[in-house]
Chain A
Amino acid sequence: GAGVSQSPSNKVTEKGKDVELRCDPISGHTALYWYRQSLGQGLEFLIYFQGNSAPDKSGLPSDRFSAERTGGSVSTLTIQRTQQEDSAVYLCASSSRTPSGGEKGTYNEQFFGPGTRLTVL
């Protein structure tokens, strides 16, 4: 079956421009995550969606970053007024659900997309 897809695969933009990155999760997956992968810095959590709501936006690095999810499916990560330090690979992941409360410590596998490589000149 289809996995997580992201578009575009590569994006080159000029400093100060806005960009939109798209994620199509696996059909039926209610949980969706955005991460940023910078060289030598591992994966940095950005935001988590459960359905269309985002209970955890704590990882968004500044107010230039925002994300939305509509219809419990596609998500868009928007970066306004891009800066050179925004250059990174942006990864999206989805899972069937994320346990909480009484299921503390359990986990449903996150399936990752191939990422969008963003270069800000």
Chain B
Amino acid sequence: GEDVEQSLFLSVREGDSSVINCTYTDSSSTYLYWYKQEPGAGLQLLTYIFSNMDMKQDQRLTVLLNKKDKHLSLRIADTQTGDSAIYFCAEILFSGGYNKLIFGAGTRLAVHP
């Protein structure tokens, strides 16, 4: 079945690294995504990784993909208070003749001084 799981809450100190983890179920997913939702706002695509990659780095963000374990992680280096948000992991599922995103429940990241 379709299921994307992630822990619901993470608290880190400003300047430390944050690691948000996610597991997914569809081994045929070609892309996996991280979305960010700031308070009172809609979701914004943060980054994505193609399934034939193990790692993708974009400035302070590092995405790691372990296809064997169906595990995806997002690492934020030098976490800032502006990084406080809910982070959603999503996989793509081809269903009903089109590509559909399946989201996890979201991880709320709290950054404290």
- Asked whether B101 lies within 8 Å of A110 as measured between CB atoms, the reply is yes
- The number of chain B residues touching the other chain, given as a range, is 20 to 34
A residues in contact (CB < 8 Å) with B: 4, 35, 40-43, 45, 48, 50, 55-56, 58, 91, 93, 98-101, 103-107, 109-110, 112-115
Residues of A within 8 A of B103 (CB): 35, 42-43
Give min CB distance, B3 to chain A, whole Å: 10
Scoring B residues 86 to 112 as 1 if CB is less than 8 Å from chain A, else 0, what string do you get? 001000101111111111111000000
- Which residue on chain B has the smallest CB distance to residue A44? B103
Return the contact of B42 from the options A56, A100, A113 (Cβ within 8 A): A113
- Which residue on chain B has the smallest CB distance to residue A110? B101
**Interface of chain A, main secondary structure:** loop
B residues in contact (CB < 8 Å) with A: 4, 8, 28-31, 40-45, 88, 92, 94-106
- Asked whether B40 lies within 8 Å of A114 as measured between CB atoms, the reply is yes
- Asked whether A104 lies within 8 Å of B96 as measured between CB atoms, the reply is no
Return the contact of B28 from the options A4, A48, A105 (Cβ within 8 A): A105
- Asked whether A104 lies within 8 Å of B99 as measured between CB atoms, the reply is yes
- Asked whether A55 lies within 8 Å of B101 as measured between CB atoms, the reply is no
Return the contact of A109 from the options B29, B40, B45 (Cβ within 8 A): B45
Residues of B within 8 A of A56 (CB): 95-96, 98, 100
Give min CB distance, B86 to chain A, whole Å: 9
Known: A42-B104, A100-B99. A105 touches B30 (CB 8 A): yes
Measured between alpha carbons, how far is A105 from B98 in the docked complex, in Å?
9
